[in-house]
Amino acid sequence: MIKVEDLTRRYGSYAAVDSVSFEVQPGTVTGFLGPNGAGKSTCMRMICGLTPPTSGTATVLGKPYAELPNPGRHVGVLLDAAAQHNGRTGREILTLGAIMMGLERRRVDEMLELVGLNKEESRRRLRDYSLGMRQRLGIAHALLGDPKVLILDEPANGLDPAGIRWMRGLLRGFADEGGTVLLSSHLLHEVEVVADDLVVIGRGKIVAEGAKSALLSAAGTTVRTTDDQRLANALESAGFGANPATGGGIHTDALPEQVGRIALEHQVVLTELRQAGTAGLEEMFLQLTAADAREGVAA
């Protein structure tokens, strides 16, 4: 279990993370989402004890990460696949990890096989690894100590479609066996497929959290018509919100049945009418974070 309470990190007057609170339960995958610069990576670094919080607390399995005995045996972390010594081989990196955690050397071979790095690849220097190979090695290192919790920041970055599908199955299987997974990724479709719960952050604050199914079903209604402006005016007159939808049409908080009645009353022809949640996580994410997106700023 991961528990974050009023976690805040300030740099002078700037709050990179501002009073964030959420929990990640055992047996679940929680998608941690937000636009560039939202504070996701800073928050994950505080959970892992790499960045001290200005205020608030973060615990993993009931303790701050730094207080866990032999933390790699309890928590697997992948925050930056490039943060390894380029002059070492993949096998050497895992072997050093096994020595530090007090593991048997056979665990190295098991993890290399699990992530699909063959004997030849495991003997290459990291400087000769592709990004996808680095990610696989990082996942192997995170799983090396047979942890109960995984904290992963963009683990699918650089993986090909087959690799992404493999990783999806790996995380789902880990959670189904009682593990706890906190997953940050910009690959929204993959998060939608694998996640049970979602935490969405924008400009350092949580803008939405809860069960994925509940958040998607509450995303409102998307409608396309032969006269969007006329229907938008009618919806607003009836007390409903009406904004341009991602990809065209109107997004409203009215139910589909209410939209249909208002359109009939005002003689507006509908060409599409559906709950916004059926368009998936991407549309909901863009709606929630439209005011917070900051292109070109690191997360």
Per DSSP, 278 falls in state: G
∠ at Cα 163 (60, 156), nearest 5°?
45
- Per-residue model confidence as pLDDT tens digits over 43-101: 999 999 999 999 999 999 999 999 999 999 999 999 988 788 899 999 999 999 999 99
Predicted confidence at residue 284, as pLDDT, reads 72
Predicted confidence at residue 248, as pLDDT, reads 83
Predicted confidence at residue 293, as pLDDT, reads 57
Angle between helices 131-143 and 161-176 in degrees, nearest 10 = 10
Q: What is the torsion angle, in degrees rounded to the nearest 10, for the CA atoms of residue 280, residue 281, residue 286 and residue 291?
A: 140
Predicted confidence at residue 211, as pLDDT, reads 92
Predicted confidence at residue 276, as pLDDT, reads 67
Q: Are 259 and 223 spatial neighbours (Cβ–Cβ below 8 Å)?
A: yes
Per DSSP, 125 falls in state: B
User: Which stretches in the chain have pLDDT values below 70?
Assistant: 217-219, 246, 276-280, 290-299
Q: Are 36 and 297 spatial neighbours (Cβ–Cβ below 8 Å)?
A: yes
Q: Which CATH class is domain 220-279?
A: alpha beta
Q: Residue ranges per domain, the chain?
A: 2-210, 220-279
Write down the pTM of the prediction.
0.80
Q: Which fold would CATH assign to domain 2-210?
A: Rossmann fold (3.40.50)
Per DSSP, 7 falls in state: E
Bin 28: left if φ > 0, else alpha if -120 < ψ < 50, else beta: beta
Strand, coil or helix: 52 = coil
